Amino acid sequence: MKKPGKRPSRLSSVRSLLGTALALAALVTAGPHATAAPGGPPRPVVTVAQGTLRGQARDGAQEFLGVPYAAPPVGAQRLRAPRPPTRWQGVRDAARQAPACLQFSPYGLRDPQAVSEDCLYLDVYRPRAARPGARLPVVLWMHGGAYSQGTGTQFGGRTMAELTGSVVVSINYRLGQLGYLALPELGRENALRSGSFGLMDQLEALRWTRENIGAFGGDPGSITISGQSAGSGSVCALLAAPPAAGLFHRAVLQSGPCTLLAAPESAGAQAHARSFAAAAGCSVPAHVAACLRGLSGAALIEAARTLPTPGPASGDGLLPVTPARAIGSGAWNKVPVLIGSTRSEARFFVALTQPRLTAEEYAAQVLAGYGAAGPEVLARYPVAEHDSPYLALSALMTDSTFACHTVWTAQLFAPQVPTFVYEFDDPRSPTLAGAQVPGLDQSNAHSAELAYLHDFTMGERPLTPVQVALGNRMKRYWGAFARFGAPVVPGQAGWPTAGSGTGTGTAVGAVLSLHPSATRTTTSFDAEHQCAFWRTQPPRAL
């Protein structure tokens, strides 16, 4: 039987499909710094290392938007490690969000033109009664989107901040080949010898947060990193990155287990980078860096159009080995972990790619993809038990990827640190705006939980009152985890650590099921998703 850390970690089909994904106490009296806008409420003011910021009050919380955490990575600084931001004079207005980073597979932006290479900014949300020195727990959010799309501005933190007494930080980081390009010529230009500039951006945002969050009332000694999908993959990378040691104190991984979203090895990442450079017309090694810095952003996007975005690569000074290998070996930045997935993750991907799959097509795909094991896979996932080929394939892909890899990743963590596992299960949850397919049940799919944890801008519809109540329960769990390292909330269901209960062998044990009608603990997660069977099967492309 293979150990989770040794198992091949990703279906090639899921990798391509992720390109379409999105890519989620008592307070002291208010501080002395506030100014009033004519005819409006007082506007809060804080002073950070670079200067003074004027934010705004909104929805019962305070927000400081478009705050630079690094210098603009433009011109000669394109494809270089981030540098600290410069100081400014006077008071900087922090009432507008910054543009998204250049998108390599745009999806879901309200204004597709609101993008820029000058994008290394973050948004800070705090409770209205926060003040400097309050030492509130801090949650730093990294958005998903297959490392090629998305923006932190889609994930407001006002409700989370006010409800849980936390300071929430949502960041942008470089995407696509501007963020992840493993060319040795670029790596030689920085001390880490790495081309994972997006991961370096995340490190820079953590350093800025540690240095400045006290001015907002946050505790630099209590920072939780949190992400979903590729953002969770970024959390995995930070857990394994030696330069990130000491910069955070807890970790939340949503729908992006470390054994599934594996960092590519350096040789493969370099081959992808060479292909991209050649497509961009920059194939001469001695001039490749200057050539790529001289192209337009549009030209870079076009060169990447048919190529995958590998994400952070392993094998350099930033990420010496893959996260799963580092965690399995015990050589990682050990912190308490909260990890989970949605009940029907793959519905999102199947709906966008094969919404009208027939029973015959489904059977042919499974038999071709699984060879000798194909008949058994079909017997375990028959169309008759799932009402449609779409639902059968969704269940098969959910179990073999996100669900069981969540189990296997949790099993790596659990012997070493407190580990808490959840499954989001709202059978009426909305999907992402623009992703609806008429006639298909897309509830509980990839990204479904985001609207419950954030002031989210990409939901297809508002949550119902019952769903808002579920979201508030989830926020309180997440907030308690950020505060205490354990999601213990008075009056809410207890959340045992992974490994407790009856789980043995291939099982993870206790999992908290987050359902609108009841939040309960289950020990049948592994069996429901057939993880013992899937551990014996190598990953296949469907």
DSSP 318-385: S-SS-HHHHHHHT-S----EEEEEETTTTHHHHHHH-TT--HHHHHHHHHHHHGGGHHHHHHHS-HHH
Adjacent-strand bridge partners of 251: 225, 337
Cβ neighbours around 111 below 10 Å, total? 8
Give the 3-state secondary structure of residue 58.
strand
What's the pLDDT score for residue 309?
A: 79
Task: Count CA atoms closer than 13 A to 483's CA, side-chain side.
Answer: 21
Residues 6+ apart with CB under 8 A from 90: 51, 52
| CA angle (96 as vertex; 92, 99 as ends), nearest 5 | 110
Q: What's the one-letter identity of residue 302?
A: E
Task: Count CA atoms closer than 13 A to 325's CA, side-chain side.
Answer: 13
DSSP 70-127: S----GGGTTS---PPPP-SSEEE--SPPPEEPPSS--S-SSTT-EES---EEEEEEE
Adjacent-strand bridge partners of 123: 170
Adjacent-strand bridge partners of 504: none
Q: What's the one-letter identity of residue 230?
A: A
Backbone angles phi, psi at 52, to 5 degrees: -105, 140
User: Pick from 196, 263, 253, 200: which is nearest to 225 by CA?
Assistant: 253
* Structure-token pair, residue 461: 């519809």
Cβ neighbours around 29 below 10 Å, total? 9
Task: Please provide the CATH number assigned to the domain covering 46-323.
Answer: 3.40.50.1820
* Local confidence pLDDT in tens for the 542 residues of the chain: 333 433 333 334 443 444 434 332 223 223 334 455 555 668 999 999 999 999 999 988 999 999 999 999 999 999 999 999 999 999 999 999 999 999 998 665 666 668 999 999 999 999 999 999 899 999 999 999 999 999 999 999 999 999 999 999 999 999 999 999 999 999 999 999 999 999 999 999 999 999 999 999 999 999 999 999 999 999 999 999 999 999 999 999 999 999 999 888 989 999 999 999 999 999 999 999 999 999 999 999 999 998 987 899 999 999 999 999 999 999 999 999 999 999 999 999 999 999 999 999 999 999 999 999 999 999 999 999 999 999 999 999 999 999 999 999 999 999 999 999 999 999 999 999 888 899 999 999 999 999 999 999 898 999 999 999 999 999 999 999 999 999 999 888 889 999 754 444 457 889 999 999 988 999 999 999 999 999 998 777 66
User: Torsion-angle region of residue 530: left (phi > 0), alpha (psi -120 to 50) or beta?
Assistant: left
User: What are the structural domain ranges in the chain?
Assistant: 46-323, 340-535
E strand or H helix at 407: helix 404-413
Site of tokens 């543009």: 99
DSSP 418-440: -EEEEEE--TT---BTT---TT-
CATH C-level class of 340-535: alpha beta
Distance separating alpha carbons of residues 360 and 358, to the nearest angstrom: 5
Distance separating alpha carbons of residues 59 and 417, to the nearest angstrom: 36
Classify burial at 380, counting beta carbons within 10 Å of its beta carbon; exposed 0-12, middle 13-18, buried 19 or more.
middle
Same fold for the pair 46-323 and 340-535: yes
Distance separating alpha carbons of residues 169 and 147, to the nearest angstrom: 19
Q: What's the one-letter identity of residue 124?
A: V
Distance separating alpha carbons of residues 273 and 268, to the nearest angstrom: 9
User: Pick from 376, 395, 311, 354: which is nearest to 537 by CA?
Assistant: 376
